[in-house]
Chains A and B, each alone.
Chain A
Amino acid sequence: MPDVRRVVLPASVFALAILAFELAARAGLTPVTIAAPSAVLAGMASHGGLLWYHLEPTLLVAVTGFLLAILLALALAALVYVVKPLETTVMTIGTVIDSIPMIAIAPVLVIWMGLSLPMRLTITTIICLFPIFISVLQGLKSPPSTANELFTNLAASPLQRFRLLAIPYALPYLFVGLKIAAPLAILGALIAEWTGAERGLGVYMLNAMFGLRVIELWSGVFLACAVSASAYMLVCLFELLSITDSGRRGVGS
């Protein structure tokens, strides 16, 4: 019952805000750059095919880049966990790469790989990699010292310690990283398209912006927001399914 109330209040505020926008736009109170929600929806409905045409490559890059980043981050975190002296080196390199502005990395990547799918995947993977890596590593190191001593006392092998202690402790942390990275994957795909592409949601948005097509731009942005919010919620759903005891969900957030 309280759960329902927690949703109803914000949902009705949201609905009211949309309604207010709609009325204001109809009454001509808003600037021309603000589109009425109904017009955006109608535009999306009538351009459904075109939107999907542009959304598809973006989704492909975002999902593939995200999965690549997960694999790389897990491998890297496991490596650093096993070979402890590597930690400072990897962290330093990671921090430096993470702090170089993407708009500086992107041109270099374009020179290397051209305006290609691998280039777009690389941009997306770079953006997602570091947050996942950091959280997983933190999780692998999170078992309390007495739990480690327990495994020492039981003469567990390094592999048993990794499998039965470190990995389960790291699982909630993995989801913290994934929740940060999932929306970033969409962003990475968009940025990659902004450096130059023929198809993609990012291209659609930029073209609409340059052509001052207000409704098209609003639908593109709305779609981007909806997709990244869905990505986030999908990760939450996976977390709900894979971590069954609620006490361990959402660590550190």
Chain B
Amino acid sequence: MEQLTVRGVCKRFEIDGRSVEVLSPTDLTLKAGEFGALIGPSGCGKSTLLRMIADILPPSDGTILIGGHEPARARREHEIGFVFQDPTLLPWRSVLDNVRLPLELVGNSARLSGSTPQELIDLVGLSGFEHARPGQLSGGMQQRAAIARALILSPQLLLLDEPFGALDEITRYRMNMELLRIRAETRTTSLMVTHSIQEAVFMADRIFVLAARPGRIVDVVEVEVERPRKLSVMNSPEFAAAVDRVRTSLFGDALGMLDDA
């Protein structure tokens, strides 16, 4: 069963009165429970694609289906969780109140089936910080709160735009493993934008490699590394093979030139 279908989706922006194609017609699918990663050079349209899937931006052309429905309907029914590059917590609210914000917006009657805010705070490892303000937390802790907030309405689809881009490498690995653990429990279909090849291979079942000008998918890499994944899988031949394939798709000939030199 296809959870996310993107067919022929493209985006043009008006820049200085000229229409610029930022994203060429793009196809992409994820099955229920799959983890996809988008990787590509800066400005190739990854965030734009994610925002179109989330119904924050309208596509110029093409169709997007989430669980068989239009994004607008999925968004109204709160089937899309979104984690932004910066945590985007409301600074005057405590962690608990930030995680609870979506419930407040929906109204109390809805979503009784989901986890409680406290359960999610425990899940992302913020127990004991429920009443802290965002300003009192580290960047990594803030991003965990943002993930808990994105999960509170038990969405069918979780979209993450470089969620760990601002973190140092040590924290980032730790957050990667946390996210894998959370996903193993919730089984939410996920699509994550990243700039790190290692991160993409470590997290994803399928990696969509994009090129720029215009933005387009140039390769789809299936990652055959078994789950559950620990840091040690990074030494496996499957891991190395996937990393190598993504790197080649990203850099093409340039890498050969570097090797020759």
A residues whose Cβ falls under 8 Å from a Cβ of B? 144, 146-147, 149-156, 160, 164-165, 168, 243-245, 247-248
B77 CB, nearest partner CB in chain A, Å: 8
- Do B105 and A247 touch (CB < 8 A)? no
Say yes or no: B88 contacts A155, CB within 8 Å: no
Q: Are B92 and A168 in contact (CB under 8 A)?
A: yes
Tell me if B43 counts as interface (CB < 8 A to partner A).
no
> Which residue in chain B gives the minimum CB-CB distance to A168?
B92
Q: Is the CB of B82 within 8 A of A248?
A: no
How far apart are the CA atoms of A156 and B107 in the complex, in Å?
Answer: 11
CB distance from B29 to the nearest CB of A (A): 22
Q: Does B18 touch A at the CB level, under 8 Å?
A: no
Q: How far is the CA of A243 from the CA of B84 in the complex (A)?
A: 26
Task: Please report the C-alpha to C-alpha distance between residue A150 and residue B78 in the assembled complex, in whole angstroms.
Answer: 12
Looking at the complex, which one of A146, A147, A243, A245 makes contact with B135 (CB distance below 8 Å)?
A245
Q: Once the chains bind, are B102 and A154 in contact (CB under 8 Å)?
A: yes
Contacting pair B105 A153 (CB below 8 A): no
A65 to B84 Cα, complex, angstroms:
44
Cβ-defined contact, A153 with B75, below 8 A? yes
Residue of A nearest to B81 (CB): A153
**Cα distance A168–B91 in the bound complex, in angstroms:** 10
- Find the residue from A150, A153, A160, A244 having the highest chain B CB count within 10 A: A153
Supposing A149-B51, A150-B82, A160-B105 touch, asked if A155 and B90 sit within 8 A by C-beta, the answer is no
Q: Name the A residues within 8 Å of B54 (CB-CB).
A: 153
Interface residues of A, dominant DSSP: helix
Contact B101 A147 (CB under 8 A): no
Is the CB of B86 closer than 8 A to any CB of chain A? yes
A164/B92 in contact, CB under 8 A: no
Q: Are B91 and A247 in contact (CB under 8 A)?
A: yes
A165 to B88, CA, bound (A): 12
Q: Is B56 in contact with A155, judged by CB distance below 8 angstroms?
A: no
Q: Which of A149, A156, A160, A168 is packed against the most chain B CB atoms within 10 Å?
A: A149
Q: Which residue of A lies closest to B74 (CB)?
A: A155
Q: How far is the CB of A151 from chain B (nearest CB, A)?
A: 8
Q: Is the CB of A154 within 8 A of B90?
A: no
A110 to B40 CA separation, bound complex (whole angstroms)? 69
Closest 10 pairs between A and B when the two form their complex, measured CB to CB: A153-B82, A146-B88, A146-B84, A247-B135, A156-B105, A155-B76, A154-B105, A149-B56, A154-B102, A152-B56
A246 shortest CB reach to chain B, Å: 8
Interface string of B27-70 (1 = CB under 8 A from A): 00000000000000000000000010011100000000000000
In contact, A153 and B133 (Cβ under 8 angstroms):
no
| Whole-angstrom distance between the Cβ of B88 and the nearest chain A Cβ | 5
Do A153 and B56 touch (CB < 8 A)? yes
Say whether B75 contacts A245, CB under 8 Å: no
Contact sample, A vs B, 11 pairs, CB 8 Å cutoff: A146-B85, A149-B56, A153-B55, A153-B82, A154-B102, A154-B106, A164-B104, A164-B105, A165-B90, A248-B91, A248-B92
Q: Is the CB of B88 within 8 A of A150?
A: yes
Also in contact, A149 and B82, with CB within 8 A (given A154-B102, A168-B92): yes
Asked whether A144 lies within 8 Å of B88 as measured between CB atoms, the reply is yes
Residues of B within 8 A of A147 (CB): 88, 90
